């Protein structure tokens, strides 16, 4: 039986298709519309891709799950109409009757999205985001067959929106939480923050009107009040312009530290409530790699799982899995998710047709030739566009739609940031073979999804300076042969040639666009930047 899940929300709309609990396809709408985070868009193209990949139509789907329960929100006076069938499944794109549609509470969908792919027999679950229908944080437990909500923090108190307000204080956009996290490493947490952990849990110092145990209220007022508090109480006592970041490094470090302490408190709390050795994290705050690294190293849990689309795109997967579970599917039948490649792929014929249409000379090579040429190009400090197989689901490039560079040369960080139009101070992440992970990184969790920060061994930092952040950390991706054979082979060959099976891996896109989705989009970025090589399917193009 087929089950379709969608995130119809205000941003990060996405679709996921599962068959009897097994993931078939997942995609984010932004990859098709080419508008970052698909703000206000229904995931129509993402749904069509999932159905097309499976070779079915909507009539073959047994049930549809929505990763939001907008009915609950309307009951509390919020005018939300994002769940209308006319918006989500317009008749000109999806003719015929619709399968049954069921709304899933947002945090339940988040919980299912991380537990289902974890492979754990049972687990504590922590969902932390900007907010669901009425909740911003959920502590729960999956007993293997059902999710149990144990405790919740109600809106407007929200760790996600606290962090968003802090991001806006620097002059960045609220969506730039990842930039803010990178900025925090440059400073020291030496400023008093309103977010505190006390005897009775979390609270906002000097902002008592926003209590974690309060009732639903105006979320805009929460963000505005926190932002005003920063303006009055935090250096440099003025909202930034988004360009001069240096005055905000101490502020960013202090905010990041306060968030990490709050998450440690929540993790300790859910540990006491469940006694589980396994922790699943979901929600937008679970994309905070630095905080995830703190949790991984805390020793509170023996096992940690964060799936690659922990933010709102992931509730499409959660809604599909929850609908499947309600219809008798066993979510643990397929084992843990070890790779994030669930999007579109393209035949070599389609790839070469695109190259010809753009007038690009190329060579079609064997696997061994392709790996050898690419490895030597990276060693020679060339920037390589790497477009292979199915695209990633989630915001991290994992070796399918990636820009690759030499981690042994610090200036490659500057070059790649400049090519993408990113700020020069922002860090880039490494990919490493899983076999060599512990040789370079100190972490109990070798994340395959580049979502858990790790310390770089002090004795090896000088060997890979382009991927070592100012605090000695990195956001590594551990690559296995089973998950991505061609990418693993490239890393292994680099190890043979240099002794370092590591590569800079950043997403294949420019700063103003989503990750490339099609061969034409990859070729366009290749042509309008100083990227020296494009490795696309079995073809290599060189400027």
Catalytic residues: 11
15-45 CB burial, b ≥16 within 10 A, e <16: bbbbbbbebbbbbbbbbbbeebbbeebbbbb
Judged on CB neighbours under 10 Å (0-12, 13-18, 19+), 227 is middle
Contact between 440 and 432 under an 8 Å Cβ cutoff? The reply is yes
DSSP string, 335-359: ------B-S----HHHHHHHHHHTT
* Number of Cα atoms under 13 Å in the Cβ half of residue 196: 15
Enter the tokens of residue 157.
């108190």
Which residues, 6 or more positions from 1, have their beta carbon under 8 angstroms from its beta carbon?
19, 20, 62, 324, 327, 329
Compute CA 13 distance to the chain's CA centroid, rounded to the nearest angstrom: 13
DSSP string, 319-339: HHHHHHHHTT--TTTT-----
Secondary structure E strands in 229-379: 278-282, 303-306, 363-364
Contact between 42 and 13 under an 8 Å Cβ cutoff? The reply is yes
Contact between 50 and 17 under an 8 Å Cβ cutoff? The reply is yes
Running DSSP on this structure, what letter comes out for residue 360? -
* Number of Cα atoms under 13 Å in the Cβ half of residue 21: 19
CA 363/CA 381 separation, integer angstroms: 21
CA 280/CA 266 separation, integer angstroms: 12
CA 359/CA 520 separation, integer angstroms: 12
Contact between 25 and 53 under an 8 Å Cβ cutoff? The reply is yes
Residue 442: Cβ within 10 Å count = 14
Contact between 504 and 439 under an 8 Å Cβ cutoff? The reply is no
CA 226/CA 505 separation, integer angstroms: 35
Residue 22's H or E segment, with its range, is strand 22-28
């Amino acid at each position: 039986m087929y089950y379709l899940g969608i995130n119809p929300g205000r941003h990060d709309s996405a679709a996921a298709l599962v068959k009897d609990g097994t993931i078939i396809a997942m995609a984010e709408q932004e990859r098709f519309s080419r508008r970052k985070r698909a703000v206000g868009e229904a995931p129509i193209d993402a749904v069509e891709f999932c159905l097309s990949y499976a070779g079915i139509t909507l009539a073959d789907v047994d049930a549809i799950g929505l990763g939001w329960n907008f009915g609950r929100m309307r009951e509390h006076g919020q005018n939300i109409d994002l769940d209308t069938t006319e918006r989500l499944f317009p008749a000109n794109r999806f003719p015929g009757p619709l399968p049954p549609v069921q709304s899933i509470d947002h945090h339940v969908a988040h919980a299912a999205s991380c537990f289902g792919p974890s492979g754990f027999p049972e687990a504590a679950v922590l969902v932390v985001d900007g907010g669901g229908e009425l909740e911003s944080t959920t502590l729960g437990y999956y007993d293997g067959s059902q999710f149990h909500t144990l405790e919740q923090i109600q809106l407007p108190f929200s760790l996600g929106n606290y962090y968003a307000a802090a991001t806006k204080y620097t002059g960045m956009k609220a969506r730039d939480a990842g930039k803010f996290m990178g900025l925090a490493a440059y400073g020291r947490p030496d400023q008093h923050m309103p977010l505190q952990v006390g005897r009775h849990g979390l609270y906002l110092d000097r902002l008592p009107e926003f209590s974690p145990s309060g009732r639903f209220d105006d979320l805009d007022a929460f963000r505005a009040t926190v932002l005003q508090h920063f303006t009055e109480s935090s250096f440099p006592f003025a909202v930034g312009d988004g360009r001069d970041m240096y005055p905000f490094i101490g502020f960013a470090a202090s905010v990041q530290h306060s968030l990490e302490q709050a998450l440690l408190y929540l993790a300790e709390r859910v540990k006491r409530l469940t006694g589980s050795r396994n922790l699943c994290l979901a929600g937008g705050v679970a994309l905070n790699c630095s905080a995830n690294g703190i949790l991984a190293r805390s020793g509170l849990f023996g096992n940690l799982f964060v799936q690659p689309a922990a933010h709102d795109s992931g509730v499409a997967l959660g809604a599909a899995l929850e609908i499947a579970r309600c219809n008798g599917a066993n979510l643990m039948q397929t084992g843990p998710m070890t790779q994030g490649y669930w999007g579109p792929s393209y035949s070599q014929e389609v790839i070469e047709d695109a190259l010809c249409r753009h007038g690009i000379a190329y060579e079609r090579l064997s696997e061994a030739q392709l790996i050898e040429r690419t490895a030597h190009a990276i060693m020679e400090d060339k920037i390589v566009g790497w477009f292979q197989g199915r695209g990633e689901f989630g915001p991290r490039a994992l070796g399918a739609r990636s820009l690759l560079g030499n981690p042994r040369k610090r200036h490659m960080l500057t070059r790649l940031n400049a090519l993408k139009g990113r700020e020069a101070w922002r860090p880039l992440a490494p990919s490493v073979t899983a076999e060599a992970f512990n040789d370079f990184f100190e972490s109990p969790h070798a994340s395959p999804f580049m979502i858990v920060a790790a310390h770089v061994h002090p004795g090896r930092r000088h060997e890979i300076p382009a991927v070592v952040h100012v605090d000695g950390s990195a956001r590594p991706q551990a690559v296995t042969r089973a998950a991505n054979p061609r990418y693993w082979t490239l890393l292994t060959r680099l190890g043979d040639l240099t002794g370092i099976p590591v590569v800079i891996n950043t997403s294949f896109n420019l700063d103003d666009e989503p990750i490339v989705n099609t061969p034409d989009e990859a070729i366009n970025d290749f042509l309008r930047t100083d990227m020296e090589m494009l490795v696309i399917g079995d073809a290599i193009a060189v400027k």
